[in-house]
Each structure stands twice: as C-alpha cells, then as structure tokens.
Structure 1
C-alpha cells in the first residue's frame, strides 16, 4: 500500500513512475496539470483477491490508464490480451473547465466487455473501474462530468471512445439538496431529486422524474410547461406546491396544507391519511384523474360537499383534514373523475349531478301601515328552502313593485324588506328565484296578508300598597279588570314617562308596561295615575291605575336634648319638650311617652326618668363637677313605634372659678371666697381664708378648707377632706374617704351607698354642733309615716361608732349597708333622739 503525489505540472506515469499504482490498495494524487495516471497490479486477471487503487486526478484534463494490455502472437497472428487486471476507483470532480478528462479501459474491456453501468452519479466501466460522484450540474441545471470520455474494447474486436455525458443523459440523474433553502435543477434525463430540509424550489425538467421536497414549504415543477413525461412527486412535510404539467403524473402532498396542480393527462393524487392536512387540487379537465386514499380512510369517513363550483371532501371527526377540488363542477364531467379507496372500491365523481333547490312558499301577516323584514329562505310557515346537494342558496338582488303597489327590496342572501302601499289591505305577493350557484334555479312565492288596524283596548288597573312602601307592576296584565289587548294581535307599547300621581306620589312607567309607584311620604288613602298604550299602527287608548295606600304606624321622632347648668347637686327637666333640637313628635299625632327607668350615668350621677318625660339628675358625689354628662332615653307612641335620643348636660363653673386639669395639681384659693375644681388627677386643693367651695372630682384628692365656712366635695376616688376652722360641709362622694371637720359646727354629708365603700369620720363632736346629713340618700323617708330606725342604724363598735343605712327603709333594717365609721365616738345609738335633736338630717 502506497500513497503517491504528483506535481502541479503535467506528470506522466510512464516516464515518471511516481504516478503509477503498482500494487493493490495504492492511492495516487495527480494534483494540478494534465496528468497521466496508471493503475496496474501484479495479480493475474482471475485472482479477484486484489485490492482497489484510489485515483485522484485533481485539476486539469487527466488521463487514467487502467491495466496494461500485452500482445501475443499465435501463429504469427497478433493477439491483444491482458494478463494483469487492475481494480480502481476514480475521483474526478465535475467541472465546467476540465472537459477532456478520460479513462482508457481498453485492457479491462477485454475482460469486462463494453459494459457501462450507471448508479446515480456513479458509474462502473468494464467490470472493475468505478467513477465516483462523476456527475453534477451547473447553476443553470446543465449536466457536468468529472471523467468526460472512456476508451473501451467493444466485443467483436473494435475499440471505441464514448462520451459519458451523452450516455448519462439517457439515464437517471440523482440530485440531493442541503438542509437549507435550495434551488435544484434536473436534466432532460430521468431525474431523482431530494430537496431534503429547507423550503426548496425544484425543477425536474424533461424526463420521467422522481422528486421529493423533504421538510419545509417546497415548490416543485415536475416538468417544464411543455413536458409530457410521467413524473412522481412527493411534497414531504410542510405546506408544498406541486405543478405536474403534462404526462400521467403522481402528486403526493404528504404532511401540511398543499396545493396540487395536475395537467391534462390522467393524474394520480395520493392522500395517505388525515395527517396529510388540507390539500387543494387544481386539475385541468380531461382523461381519468384519480384521488387515491390511504387504507386508514374508508367510505364511511367521507363527506362530499359542493361549495360553489368546488367540491370539498371532508372526513368525519377530523376538521384538521380535507381535500378541495377547485372548479370541480365548472367543467363537463368534473375535473377529477374518481375517488379511490384502498380496498378497491371507489366513488365516481364525474357522475355526481347537481340538483335544483327546493323552495317553500312563504306567508306573512301584518297590519295596515306596517312593514315587514324577513328572509325568504327561512321557514315562514311552510318550511325552509333547501338544496338536495347542500349547496348554499342565493338570489339575484333586486328592488321591485308588487301588483298591489307594495315595494320589495331583495338581497342576495335572501333577506328582504316589504312595504305595502298606503291604505292597502288584503293579500299581496311577490316571487323570487333560489339559486344554488351550480346552475340550479327554483322560483318561490311570498304572500303578505295585510289586515286593517283595530285600536288597542286598555283596561283600568287596581293595585294596593302600604304607606311609605313602593309598588311595582305590569300595566298590560290583568290587574282586576282584564288584560290590555289589541284586536290585530299587535304588540302594545306604553308611553314611557315619569310623572306625579294625583295624591302627590311618583310613578315611573316603562315602554314595556312595567311601572314603579312611590307614594308620597306618610300618605295613606287612594292615589291614581293614567297611562297610554299604542299598537304601533296609529291606534291608542288610555287607562287609569288606582292604588290603595294603607295606613301604617310611623315611629315617633325623638329629638336630642341639650341642657346647660351651673355645677349643682341636682337638676330636673322634661325630655319631650324642645331642648335645643325641637320637641319630640309623632307624625300620626299619637300621644307620646318615655320609657320610665332609673340608672347611673358614666359620670356617676343618678338619673330617674318618668313616663311623662320628666327626669331628675342627681350627682352621687354630692355635686356635679365641671364638664359634660349624657344619657339615652326611649320615646314611645303607644302603637309599637319607638325612637331613641340623647340628653346631654353641660355643667359650668361660675365666673372666676379656679379650674384644674386632668393632671395632678396643687390648687390654692385666695383670701376671697373661691370656687375651685380639681378635675382629674390626685389633686391637693386648699381653700384659703374665706368661705370656699372645693370640688376634687376624679382621683385621690386632698381638700383643705382652712378658715371660713367651707363646702368640700371629694368626688370620685379615695379622698381626704379636712374642713379646718369654721362651719364646714364635708362630702366624700364615691370611694373610701376620710372626713375631718376640725373646729366649728360641721356637717358630714353622705351621697354614696355602695357596699365596701366605708368612709372614716374624724373629729365628730356633737358638742360643737356637728351633724350627720343623709338627706341625699334617704329620699324615700317620710317623717309622718316612716320609722327612722328602718332607715338608719348607728351602733357602738369599741371606741368607735358604725353608721349604716337602708335606702328602702325595710322593716327591721333588712338591707343595711355600712357607709361610715365615726372615730372615737360612741353613744350615738339613739337615732330618733339624734333626728329630733337636729343632729341627724334626713330631709
């Protein structure tokens, strides 16, 4: 095995043994120049174990000499014979410039004869010489050859040179595309062309070609426009377009939506399965054209439908697939004559004949002065117009006048408008012609019956509702006197309007007869309104709707009350009168009352409300503080109607008062008589030298009266109150308080009766004129009828005395609650004596 290289010059394998392959499996490269390359072997011709030499000529017009013939003389007669047979593969690139490459196969021809065998672009000469990829085409589709000529021994003793391009032109030509978008041109030979991937354009030219588009959207021209060869074409996947032209061609779109154009000969259209998509066939009429369906499609799957002059072949359950034959009904006998199934059965498409449409007479009833719109093809009393072949129906659009002066406008889709002559009644007619688009035409008649108009009859209506309650209804229905009607059966329309009613209500009337009535607020009694109906043809009538409005109780209207008072122990008022927002009232004139009740407000005041609206407000701390308090009450009309309102009381201090804040403070009076209000916080308040009014309010306060006859009110919280000199009044209020009068005739006043809240009374001296005041908590005590011991009990407790009260005055004091401990004092157990002596105050 050897590899031999030539030069770029004209190398000769005879004088320069460099280009001679002597043993099997040698490879020779001629490179440039017009080279002569030899291929020999040491083996005898009948030893077929020899290898194959590989010969590459390169550029230039090269000559290949295969095997060396020798001359023998037998009886003085020269005999050319080969003793050594060489096998060789020759690789010569097809070229437009190197057109004189040749192979000398004389010696091998003695063995293999003048045999030339073509296999696509390859060919074999004299049994043992193979030319690899010897053929191609230029950019215009012209045939090119690598080795152009062959010198061969022809049986019979002659040697001849043949033109390999001429030989190949009569045989098949194989041409393969790339994976891109190719333009492939065949030759006049029988071409085998495969476009492969990409959207290719393939020209088969003359000859009986086999063409495959491959993947992509391909365009295939099996012949030139004048070609008559029988070609076989396959579009492959993608949306392909195939032109067959002349000859009995086979067109197979395969996958995708393909356009197939047959010629004038008997063409065969292949459709394997529903996977072949939507194919459209355009075939020139004549001869016997056939669609061949694959074995997966049977006759029961096929639906034939005429669409204009086209024939659509659909497949049951497969909307993604169809075959449409363009102009199938436009020619004589159809353009495709047969639909062939794989089982041998078929449908003769040429004998499918068109059937004329079937029309049904139409009848319409209208009223004088009315017009009508409709469709003549629809079911208008006798059934719809139809076509036996399923063709779409149409008519010639026109505007015409009937015999009785009516006007008709007809549209191509069958829609029409009819307007009768003014004042005409009776029957009028017009005709039309239904067309199927395939030559079928059938007339139809439309009759319009026009009746004289009768005015509608509107009936009075009766409705009922409650006071302040809207009512809805339908005026055209039977609402007590029968339904509104029309003698012609016309649809009635009510005049739409919004307007007041006779009694001041409001009614909204819609054109369809629905209405909504809203009575005047708080009105009860009878109300009414009128309405008008029309039949659309000039006839009208009016009716009255009567509405009985039943009285219902209206809730009273409680007005919020506002009271302004100076700080005080107790105040009164009436909630029904006007207290800033107007008096409480009832629209029905019902007598009003208030829900009687007693309760304590959020600010700790006791409120008692009486049914006549009177109320009493009393501060549980003995005095109201500066600020605001409120309570809610319920107003009644005696018929189930209720309303609530809020009474707000604003308490203000006198001009010049000292008023603290919600924080903890030390407040001091002057030498004058001061009014000091601590407000919130744990305050310390000192009155000064004159007679002062001190109010601690919320918090644990300390109040010091100092000199003068002072009034000291602790308010809520656990307070410490010291009267100082003078005749003072000490009121602890809510909480556990310490009360110390010191000098002077002091009054210890109690306003809070709460279990567990026991005040401590210190410095209580009867000898100085001190007194216990229970008047604000024993309001139920009656000096004429009550026993003081049922309300008050003072008992010794060691060196102290306990003070307990029963605000209800139960016999025997069943509900006594201790409210104070009197420190360091005993002997006060004779409550009656204290009362008589003026030391116990209860009123």
Structure 2
C-alpha cells in the first residue's frame, strides 16, 4: 500500500499517475476544490472494478452506487447514480471509507441516471470516454486542498489524471506523475520521481527536484517560474528560474528574456539568448549573459561574468569578493569588479576602474587602461597599448611589440620583444623594467632587471639606475648617473660610465669599469678584474676573496669570515680586513690598514702607514716610513727595523714599546702601564693613573690627567747631561703625580738597595743617597748622588717651577 497526495490551490492543475492495478480497497480523495471540475481518467487493458466515489453532506448524499465496471472488449461502463438533499459537512468517500470532511459551503447538484448537469455528457458519453477517456464530476464551490491517498502500488499501472480548473497547488507522490494546471496561477510540485508538469494559462510556478522532471508551457500562457533544487535548463516559453537549496547547481535560460536567480551554492547561470537578468546569491558563481543585453549581479563570493555584448551590465556591491569579467567585446569595468579577461582574437579594448584591477588582453591588438588603483595589465598576444593610469602598476605587453605607459606611481614593466617601448614622464615614481631581451632604458626609468640565461646587453639612461643581469654573460652599461650594476651569474662586463657607481659582477669572472666618479666594486671571484684610469675618482673594492688592488683604486674592504689576503697598490690605500685572520699588504703609498676581527698580519710596506690590527692578537709591520700602530690587545705585536722612520704606537692597553719605535700614546681612561725601549722615546699617558717607564734613552714623558707615576729603575734611565736626561712635561704634585726612584740604589757603596734622602734645594754634602731639587730657566731639576762625590749621578728635568717635598717621591 502506498499513498500519493495532491495539494491544490487556485489554478488549472494536471497530475498524471501511473498506478499499478487499482483495486476495490483503494481510495481516491478530492479535498478543497475551488469552482472546480474534477476529472478522473481510468485506463487499462482489462476489466477494472472500483468502489463508488461518494460525496455526502447533511441530509444529502451523491452516490455512484454499486460497482463501476469497464469491459475491455466493449468499453462499456455500468453503474447507478442517485442523490438526496442537504449540503452541510461534506464528506468524500471511496466505498465505506471517509477520506475527507469538507466543512465548507457546498452547492448540491442534481445528478441523474441518464443526462445531468453534474455530468458533462450522458451515460453513453461516460461509457464511450472511459476507455482512455474521462469521467467528469462537478463537485461545486469549495476552498480546501485536494489529496489523492491510499493507492495500492503493484502490478500493471492504470493512469489517473486529476484536473482542477481555476488554480491551486498540486503535489505529486513518489511515482512519475503528470500534473496539469488550469487557467489560473498554479503551483505544481511533482514530488519524487520524474514528473511532467503542464501549467497551462496563468503565471505558474513549477517545483523541480529531479533532473527527469519535465515542464511544458505553451507560448503566451503567462509569466512562469521554475524553482529547482537541481541543475536545470528552462524549457521553451518559461521565463524565470530560481535555484533553491545550498547545493552547487547550475541554471540555464532559453531564447526568452529570462530572470535566473542562484542559490547559496556555487552556481553557473547561463542566460542564453535574450536580454536576461542573472542574479547570483552566495557562493563563487559564473554568470553568462549569452546573446542580448544582459544584466548580471554576482552578489557575495568570487564571481565570474561572461560578457559578449557592449550592452551587458555587471553589478557588484562593495566587499562582495574578488570578481572577474570575461569579455569578447570592448568593455569598461563597473564599480567593485576587480578583474577583466578579454577573450577571442579581436582588436578590442578595456578600461579598469578605481579598484586594484588585473586585466588580461587576448590575441588581438588591445588598448588596456588600468585607470586608478594598483593594476596588473597583461597584453598577451598582439601589438598592445597598456596604460596603467595612477597607482603602482604592473604592465606586461606579452609577445608583440607593445607600448606601455605606467603613469603616476611605482610601476613595473615586462619587456620580451625588442620592439617593446616604455613611456614614463618625470616625477612619476620609481619604475622598473624586467627584460628577457637586450634593452636600453627609456627616460625616467630607474631600474632594469634582465631575465633568462641569454647573453644580453642592458643600457641605462641619464638617471641614477639600478641594472641587474641574468644567468648569462651580460654586458651592462650604466651611462650617466649614479648607477648600481649587478651582473649576477655569468662572466659579465659592467661599465658604470660617469657618476659614482656601484659595480657587482656576481658569481662569474667579471670585468668591471667604473669610469669617472667615486665607484665601488664588489669582488667575489678570484677571476674578477677591475679597470680604472687615473684621476677617475676615489674608488673602493669590497672583496670576499683574496685580491690585489688594481691601479688607481684607493680603498678595499674584505667581507665574510674567511682568512683572506689583501694587497694594495702603489698609491695611498685604505684596506679593511674582515672577521677572519687576514694578511694585509699596503705596499707603496701612505696606507691605512685595519685588521678588524681575527688575529691579523698587517704590513704597511713603504710610506707613512697607519696599522690597526683590530680586536685580535695582531702582528704589524710598518716598513719604511713614519708609521702609526694601534694597540688594543695585550697580544698585539709590532715589528720595526732600524732606520725605518719615526714610528708611533697608540695603545689602549698596557704595552711595552718594541725596538725601533720612537713614540707611544696611551688612550682611554684605564690605569695603564707604558714602558719605553732603549731609544729616545716620547711617552704620553691618558686620563687614568698611569705608570710610565721611560727606560734608557733621552725620553720625554707626559702623564696627562690622573695621578701618574714616573718610574726610573737605574741611573742609566736618565742621565745628567741635557742630551741624556729625561724630561717630565706635565708633573703636578696636586694631582698626585710622583717620581718613583725606589729601584735605584741610593748608596752604591753600601750593601742592599738604599733609599734616597730628600734635602730640598740644599747642595750635596758629599754623602751618598742625597736627592735635591734645583730651579732654573722656568724648570725644576731633580738630581741624585749615589756615590757621595757631591756630584749628581742622574737627573730628571721637570718642566715648570715645582716645590717638591718627600711626598713627591717614591724612594
């Protein structure tokens, strides 16, 4: 046993059911007919027997009594019709079973046994029509719902058509149903199965839930709508399609002016011919207007519009996704649409909007205008003209000989044809060319980058350019301006031209010419070569490998952490090491050598050089000339040969002067010890409390600030004559300066180390161990007698008049 329900409203409704072997116990119910005629079509290939369909009301019953019998051989129907009065509380029965109660006004009908106004035709007509024909039953004016229930589904099917004339809602059952509407606006829902729905006249609505459902409409029968939960193509003469549910389904129109509305899924809406209106809902949708002037609204989601007419309209609201138009005609993007792709091979054009657009040309000659925004413009095939407008745009003309204008903003151009041309005006931003062919930069372009692996030639303009090579063996000319030339891989040739240029050949064995100006070269291959002419500026090398400076280069800096060897040339060089253990040769000229990190070896060569080993324990050779050494590590070592000039040490740590060094200056504020050698030294302290040893020789000592102590260990450290004695230039007792002579034996005739006795300005008495001071010529002379002969055996000259006392000495 199965149940099929039909729900109807106003309209003309048709439903067809193929039902197996309708038996005596089966029931058919009509409920809620409005000015309706109910048609019961009974068919089959054998004799079927049906219970009587009865419509009852208070005191009045319309009975088709007995059994209706259809003989297949004769096509005859037998039965009796009778009626009685009353019309309140209508019941509809099949046999003894009450199928529905109609508590509505009911107009009694006088049913006769032969000819009756309630039966369309006479009994003979009924008999004639039954075999594949129609039995017509007039039920009157009701306002309810029709239901077809209680059908036994088995064996051979019989066809039952329910026809309701005046409009309504019909719902089919589980089978393959046929629903027919009337002259009104009907709603037909076939339910499950592959149903056929015929709306007839009026503005009908069809509910489609199966790809096998069929909708039939004739021309001029109203403005009809299909509501479909499956992918659907509108049949002829149906105007509207609404997709329901949330599934990713598609909708296709016909030759009429259609309205197609999507659902919340990802839909493909195709208007076909006609001036269509396509409206997507949520989801990432594809809207195809088809021929005609169409209006398309994508709604939320990343939508794609297919445009084939200049009259097509695309409508998008703000913040409704990243949307794309695919156009085969000249087209201007509407507001809130981001992308356009030209299709076909025609010479068509397109304009962007104020958004950040991506615009793709086709195989023809396109004119593409980005308008405002940061746009991506691709010409693709053909000889194209691209104009970025305002904004930071990306322009790629494609394979033809293209013309590209970036406009205001920082634009990027792609060059892939030697006929490509770039147009930029002054003050329109920082612009870049990316080229896979040889190219000369147009005016007002700042940067060019070569792509691919071909051996290309790149030429700059009169501005300050940055030009980068590719994987091939490139030749790059900076021309005028302060240029940065970068060869990348390959054995490149770089020529800076005029201006202060930076040249980096990259990983190959490169040749670099800086030209005039203060140029900077980067060396990363031992095969790199630099060419500089005299008087072409102050030029520098930055090297990560061993390198000898070419002629006319002034400076070199080592990079990385490798243990490198750097050699200067014959002019005045500055050479800086890296963090490794470097060996640096200044060679000729007055050079500045800096070891930086690591334990470095610095050799100044000839000339007056400055050598600073940096933070490691460094070895420094100044060579010939008046050299200066910087000591900052107690492990630093200086090597000087005799007669190699007047050499100076600047030390921030305690240090003993090596042989053949004449001068030492302490730096910083630490309490340091400075020890001279046997030559005539000049030793100067710092702001700390220093211990200063002049040693042998005629030394000039200065403590500077701080409480300094000048130490004399033997009488040979400071002689008595002017040419042999030491001079202390800035002795100041008030700052705590003292003279330490405690290591000198005051009485050579006595055993042990005897102390001196200070006698002020008195003359020696002939007793050994006396220490006196003597004023004269603005200086103070300190004298000591160690053998008691009344004459000084050593002396120290203090510049200035100093009244000394016992506290001025360490004895």
Q: TM-score, normalised by structure 2?
A: 0.34
